């Protein structure tokens, strides 16, 4: 059995990769993917906690989080589609209507 702290450490690394990607990438789809990575880093932490404490709550949270992430991705992609249909780009550099 792997130590829970190793799994949590992996979660931190995954989260950092996701966060860095979300900061630096211009492509909205990649940013969305990075967000998914961060979400899954959190899920991994839940799973690690659940196995460490032998508590089923962590599994349940993870299952719910995955379901919600699926819905969120659907919405995110729909937003990107409509962004593309109006702005003809999915670059986050150019989608700045809320500026100032």
* 56 or 98: CB nearest other proteins: 98
> Given the rule CB under 8 A, which of 17-25, 51-59, 60-68, 70-78 is the region that contacts other proteins?
17-25
Of 18, 15, 42, 44, nearest to 32 (Cα)? 18
* 4 or 92: CB nearest other proteins: 92
Sign, Cα dihedral of 18, 22, 24, 29: positive
User: Exposed, middle or buried by CB within 10 Å (0-12, 13-18, 19+), for 78?
Assistant: exposed
Contact 56, 67 (CB under 8 A): no
- Residue selected from 24, 82, 86, 87 as contacting other proteins according to rule CB under 8 A: 24
Give yes or no for residue 22 binding other proteins (CB under 8 A).
Answer: yes
Give yes or no for residue 85 binding other proteins (CB under 8 A).
Answer: no
Give yes or no for residue 92 binding other proteins (CB under 8 A).
Answer: yes
Binding residues for other proteins, rule: CB under 8 A, are 19, 22-24, 28, 31, 92-93, 95-100
């Amino acid at each position: 059995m792997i130590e829970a702290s190793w799994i949590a450490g992996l979660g931190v690394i995954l989260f950092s990769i996701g966060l860095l990607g979300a900061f630096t990438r211009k492509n909205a789809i990649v940013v969305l993917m990075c967000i998914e990575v961060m979400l899954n880093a959190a899920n991994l932490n839940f799973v690690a906690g659940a196995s460490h404490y032998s508590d089923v709550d962590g599994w349940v949270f993870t299952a719910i989080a995955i379901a919600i992430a699926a819905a969120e991705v659907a919405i995110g992609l729909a937003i990107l589609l409509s962004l593309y249909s109006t702005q003809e780009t999915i670059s986050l550099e150019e989608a700045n209507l809320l500026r100032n």
